[in-house]
Copies of this chain bind each other. A is one copy, B any other.
Amino acid sequence: MEFDDKVPIYYQIKTVIYDQIIAGQLAPGDKLPAIRQLAVSLTVNVNTVQRALREMIDEGVVISQRGRGNFVTSNAEIVEQLKQELIDRYLKQLYDQLHRLNISDEQIVNEVTAYIERQGDLNDDNTES
C-alpha cells in the first residue's frame, strides 16, 4: 500500500482500518486479518501494525484476544460514536483550512458543491478512480 510520507505509517493504518469499520466492511464482532497477514498485505513491518492496533485497542474499538485474533468491538454504539467523531473531524479540518484562506462560509458550500458536481460528472457511468 502507498502511504503519505508526511504522516506516520502506523497512524495511516489506523485510519484505514477505522474507515473500513465505519464503512461497514468490518462489522461489529468481525475478526480482523491476522497481524502478520496485515503486515504482508500492507507491506509494512509487524511492529508497525502492532502500534496501530495498540491504539485502536486502547480506544476500545478493537478487542484483542491472545491466540485467537483481533476483533471489532461488538458494541455498535462505539462504532457509531467513532463515525461521528471522524466525520466531524474531517469537516472541521476543511472548514478551518478554507477559513484560513479567507474563504467565506457561503463560498465554502459553493466550492464543495462545485467539486462534487465535477466528480459526479466524471463518474456518471465510468469506472471509479
Contact = CB atoms under 8 A, between A and B. Distances in A.
Interface of A: 6-8, 11, 19, 22-24, 83, 86-88, 90-95, 97-98, 100-103, 105, 108-109, 111-113, 115-116, 119-120
Contacts of A119: 95, 105
A95 B128 CA distance: 14
B22 A101 contact: yes
A116 B87 contact: no
Copies of this protein, total: 2
Contact of A112 (B11, B22, B83, B94): B94
A108 B102 CA distance: 22
A85 to B, nearest CB: 11
A65 to B, nearest CB: 27
A95 B108 contact: no
A90 B87 CA distance: 15
Given A23-B101, A105-B116, 19 more contacts: A6-B7, A7-B7, A19-B101, A22-B101, A23-B100, A24-B102, A83-B101, A86-B101, A87-B101, A90-B98, A91-B94, A91-B112, A91-B115, A92-B115, A95-B115, A105-B120, A108-B116, A109-B109, A109-B112
